[in-house]
Amino acid sequence: MFERVLQRMRQKVHERQHVMTYHARKEMNEDGFTIYDVERGILSGQILERQKDRETGEWKYRVRGETFGTKDVEIATKLSPTGKLVMLTVYTP
């Protein structure tokens, strides 16, 4: 459904054009994920839903994919006006 958006996200991962919020990094560490797990989650994943941020009006996307381990990972992310992929939070589904 959001194939073009997902392809742009994957391109940003390949180009290392992504940033992670403090909150996402904290959640990633608490759930035992690495940045490589998160990147793989986006590269292997699918967009589950699109949500509109009430404050900014920006579109956010929930992506679920596989890690290098045995767990799945879910990432809330958005494409920023600067062209970077922003990882907002990371968690175990």
pLDDT value for 20: 97
Question: pLDDT by residue (tens digit) across 34-47?
Answer: 999 999 999 999 99
**Three-state SS for 11?**
helix
Average pLDDT over the chain, rounded to an integer: 95
DSSP notation for 62-73: EEEEE-SSS-EE
* Whole-structure pTM value: 0.90
| % of the chain beyond a pLDDT of 70 | 100
Q: Indicate the domain borders of the chain.
A: 3-91
| Orientation of helix 3-14 relative to helix 35-44, angle to 10° | 150
